Amino acid sequence: MQSRVFWLAITCLLFLPQVVRVQIADPDLWGRISVGAVLFQAGHLPRVDDFSYTANGAPWIDHEWLSGVLFYAVLDALGEPGLLLLKYGLFGSCFLLIFVLHGRLYRVAPIVTAAAVAATSRGYLLGFLATVRSQAFSFPFLLFFLYFLESVRLERLTPRHLLWLIPAAALWANLHGGVAMGLLAVGTYGAAELAMGRYRSARRMLALLPAMGVAMAILNPYGLDYLSFLAKAWTLDRTAIAEWQPLLAGGLNTENAVGAALVLFGGVLAVGGSWDALLRRLRGAEADRNRPDALAPSALLLLWIAMTLIAQRLLPFLALTLAAVLPIYGRLWGSSPWLRERAGAWATMLSRTRIAGTILLVLALVGASSWGWLSGGRPLLASVLPSERMGGGAMHAVYPDGAVRFLRDSPYAGNLLNPFTQGEFLYWTLYPKFRVAIDGRFEEVYDIAHFWDVFAFYQQFAPGRPKRVIEYANRSGADFVIFRTTFRSLRVLASDPAWTTIYRDAAFAVLARREVLERRPPDPGAPEPTSRRASTIGDFFDDFDADARRFSEYP
């Protein structure tokens, strides 16, 4: 036990700096916090949209409502550091579940677990680089499901223990729509048990699916509508969103090479495990505890690989599953006994001597002395908002914090046409003065045709077709339009006499219809802020109670 705890602590300490080094505020976080603000201030969950002017009054099913309430409560009680501590807790819980699964089910030495976690780290770290987001809950939940499915498959637990997955699925469904991954895992294991002729086990696993569906509908404020929404959300075309594009959409490059390597490595293991299991099934060989078949985990890996190739956002699920089941394949081909014997002896020696304490002290000193380099100067308990203040030009500008401060303090109000990525940040900071045109609630409130219209306005209309930019802006119902300064459509609309620039910095510009201005617009050439410090989440919560009260009249 001491050895396992030691290696768990070492693993967390070594990988935490990698998370901090590229930690930025996730755009979806602001939308989740807004849901919590509506619940605590208006006294109800938002059932219709009031954040946008394009879908105002449309029914809204928020499949992540509980995570938003949790984020809001943590932010209210502990501030920005609380959000980061929550993320680190979810990050560490994934390691804990993998160590427990390896120790209790596969009986491998903890150094083997640490090696498996390290080998797949670049894949699952992608899910924890931003500020805590709702999908971070799905990763430990998936590992929780794997633990029970594997325990029953290997006869370490009785089938009745699978009943724990029913309330777990209901809770997961309220936190994030990634519960679909859990349902797929259960269905895959049930199908694999059926293929291997273990019919009783297969029936019990497959019977969980309708039971979980009923629990998800009953223990959810949206009822049966949630299930139909979930089916719709998982079938939408999201290829316009970068993280939902196929893994190799841009060809094999340094960014997706790691994902491609994990797909290849996992694919080789999964195909080999499936082939071995099916051959043994055809030969009538019985599985035993020393060498059980690997059809279920192999089929699950193949499913995750296919889904990752379609949508790269699912790569963390593949990486964590691969880390969790990796010892199966070592045992399957007879390589793990030698490794387990020697690695286990070494780990035991470390835990029983002063060598462990010495190594831990050295690692702590090295980590402390090199923290600034490892983290790239990023704070441990804060998340940066990339903006014009970070320098480097507009390529680093993700958040229009300068434009938001200007609009928030201005006498203006109305409909704001905006790019997709910044939508939730805009409505958290500017509601109810401004309502947005589009935001991250892609599948929840917006018509798909509207999404593509806004996307085309910013990305496609300007080259050679300037009239379409002006036509769309005039018929969109927008009083104001916010642009990245790199967008060609900015120059097109700025040349139209019906529009005028009221704000501009190195990264973003805001144009307004002349007819809606309440007073002479400020000089667009005004100097930028002298401070070059990047904003953090905490900078937009100077007065948390005052910010939250803006949502008290939400319908």
**Which string of DSSP letters, residue by residue, matches 115-127?**
HHHHHTHHHHGGG
State whether 401 and 487 are in the same domain. Answer: yes
State whether 370 and 403 are in the same domain. Answer: no
Residues of the chain with pLDDT under 50: 288-289, 335-340, 342-344, 346-347, 349-354, 361, 365, 368-369, 372-373, 389, 391-397, 526-527, 529-532
State whether 475 and 341 are in the same domain. Answer: no
- Domain termination site, one of 354, 386, 418: 386
Domain assignment present for 109? yes
State whether 371 and 396 are in the same domain. Answer: no
What is the CB neighbour count within 10 angstroms for residue 59? 13
Residue in 196, 212, 91, 67 with CA at minimum distance from that of residue 143: 91
Domain assignment present for 280? no
State whether 6 and 110 are in the same domain. Answer: yes
- Domain termination site, one of 386, 404, 429: 386
- DSSP-derived letter for residue 106 is I
Domain assignment present for 95? yes
Pairing of strands 499-504, 508-513: antiparallel
Task: Please state whether the peptide bond connecting residue 110 to the residue before it is cis, i.e. omega within 30 degrees of 0.
Answer: no
The packing angle between helices 295-310 and 257-283, to 10°, is 150
Domain assignment present for 379? yes
Q: What pLDDT does residue 520 have?
A: 59
Give the Cα separation of 144 and 380 in Å (integer): 28
State whether 375 and 489 are in the same domain. Answer: no
Q: What pLDDT does residue 438 have?
A: 93
What is the CB neighbour count within 10 angstroms for residue 302? 18
Domain assignment present for 250? no
State whether 412 and 469 are in the same domain. Answer: yes
Give the Cα separation of 494 and 507 in Å (integer): 16
- DSSP-derived letter for residue 48 is B
Residue in 190, 81, 78, 97 with CA at minimum distance from that of residue 140: 97
**Residue 63 main-chain phi, psi, to 5 deg:** -75, 0
- Domain termination site, one of 386, 418, 445: 386
Q: Tokens 């690997």 identify what position?
A: 294
Give the Cα separation of 466 and 449 in Å (integer): 21
State whether 360 and 429 are in the same domain. Answer: no
Query: What is the Cα 444 distance to its own chain's centre?
Result: 17
What is the residue range of 68's domain? 1-131+335-386
Q: Are 516 and 414 in contact (CB under 8 A)?
A: yes
State whether 446 and 523 are in the same domain. Answer: yes
| Four-residue CA torsion sign, 480, 484, 485, 486 | negative
Q: What pLDDT does residue 300 have?
A: 96
Domain assignment present for 31? yes
State whether 412 and 465 are in the same domain. Answer: yes
Q: What pLDDT does residue 491 have?
A: 86
State whether 379 and 462 are in the same domain. Answer: no
